[in-house]
Amino acid sequence: MKKIVSFVLVVLMLATCFTFAACGKKDKFVAVDATDLLKEDFGIAVKKGNTALMAEVNKVVNAWVADGTMQKYLDYYTDLADYEAGVEGVSKPEAGTLKVTWDFGNATEVITVYTESGFAPFEFVSNGKVIGVDIAIMSQVALNMGKKIEVKDVLFDTIPTCVKQSTGDAVGAAGLSITEERKAEVDFSDIYFSSTLVIVSAEDKAISSVRDLSGLKVAVQEGTSGDLIISNAATAKGHVYENEDGDEVKVTVSDTTDIRRYKQYTLAYADLKAGRVDAILMDKLPAQTMLAVAD
């Protein structure tokens, strides 16, 4: 499974640095694949013990990854998010054979989908509704089970707890990376996407490692892998990653590093452009989408 996902993503990850300019702005920003950052795997979080729902989620996830449908959804929703944001040169994408609407008929049983809508292409708001890759996955799961979905847009760092405390069928579908901490609260589906974290900063002083964040003002979304990495690096525990030789390396930053936590990446990006923070630590694909958006 992991090998399939990695193969699908090769084209996306050939370059190590992407440059974008905000329309009408002087500043340019880059998203750099730092050598001391980790790769992370995304999964759908399911309430512990709900084996029936987990089986149905894995059925959709595995089929879509194997036949290329997952990549098609990633491409479609990336282009749609860019188009709706007014990115220059991006036309409205055609769905083609992709299903982008689901008719749940008279279904009364509900699967509650907890998400955070500021993470295109996985979830974003279009015409007042939350759509995206994760919503597509769970819509198909619900259709297969004769149920319907109810999307709840919540704070990102509360999603595992929301799933854990829910009654009935519930999942967290929000580009959630699979971590040991989260696995203590929820079960995870098979991997449907593997992502790289990047450091977003001004082009004229591009930052290419966690070490170089030392002493700077660093923005993260609260509760994300980026938050965990820089928080650990700011303590004696350090951020530990595996290098190309398979050796574990510990990275630390000084206690003068100013970690600023945001509820949404859009707020962090606004502060980056205004010079109130020096860098954002975040996932690569949403960073590409974010930086491509014309103001």
Average pLDDT, integer, range 175-200: 93
* Whether residue 10 has pLDDT greater than 60: no
Which domain-ending residue is among 170, 190, 210? 190
Whether residues 183 and 53 fall in one domain: yes
For residue 244, what are the domain limits? 2-39+196-292
Same-domain check for residues 13 and 98: no
pLDDT of 8 reads 36
37 φ/ψ angles, rounded to the nearest 5 degrees: -100, 160
At residue 288, the pLDDT reads: 86
| Six token digits for residue 201 | 């900063």
Domain boundary, last residue among 166, 190, 214: 190
Domain count along the chain? 2
How do residues 121-147 score in pLDDT, each as one tens digit? 999 999 999 999 999 999 999 999 999
User: Mind listing the pLDDT tens digit for each residue in 212-253?
Assistant: 999 999 999 998 889 999 999 999 999 988 877 778 899 999
Asked if the model's pLDDT at residue 4 lies above 80, the reply is no
Q: Which two tokens stand for residue 72?
A: 């098609």
Report pLDDT for 188: 98
SS3 56: helix
Q: For residue 2, what pLDDT is reported?
A: 37
- Shared domain for 136 and 221, answered yes or no, is no
Q: Both tokens of residue 49? A: 């013990």
Same domain for 96 and 231, yes or no, is no
Kindly state the average pLDDT of the residues 264-280.
Answer: 94
For residues 169-182, give the mean pLDDT. 94
Could you tell me if 68 and 178 lie in one domain? yes
Same domain, yes or no, for 182 and 201? no
Q: How far is CA 94 from CA 79, 80, 99, 124, in A?
A: 10, 9, 11, 18
Residue 294 clears pLDDT 50, i.e. is over it: no
Residues 60, 177, single domain; the answer is: yes
92 CB-near residues (< 8 Å, 6+ apart): 80, 83
Query: Is residue 225 domain-shared with residue 286, that is, in the same domain?
Result: yes
Tokens 């998203």 belong to which residue?
31
For the domain that residue 13 is a member of, what is the CATH number?
Answer: 3.40.190.10
In sequence order, which residues have a C-beta less than 8 Å from that of residue 166 and are 6 or more positions away? Answer: 47, 112, 114
Q: Are residues 49 and 155 in the same domain?
A: yes
The Cα 188–Cα 246 span in angstroms is 26
The residues, any chain, with a CB within 8 Å of residue 263's CB and separated by 6 or more, are 155, 156, 221, 222
Which of 167, 190, 213 represents a domain boundary (last residue)? 190
Same domain, 169 and 55: yes
Distance of CA 174 to the CA centre of its chain: 7
Cβ atoms within 10 Å of 178's Cβ, excluding its own: 17
pLDDT digits 0-9 by tens, 31-80: 998 888 867 899 999 999 999 999 999 999 999 999 999 999 999 999 99
Confidence at residue 39, expressed as pLDDT on a 0 to 100 scale: 77
**Are residues 83 and 30 part of one domain?**
no
CB within 8 Å of 32: residues ≥ 6 apart: 16, 17, 198, 199, 200, 201, 206, 207, 208
CA distances from 218 to 61, 148, 234 (A): 34, 40, 11
**pLDDT band at 18; cut points 50, 70, 90:** very low
Average pLDDT value over all residues in the chain = 88
pLDDT of residue 290: 87
Instruction: Tell me, yes or no, whether 28 and 49 share the same domain.
Output: no
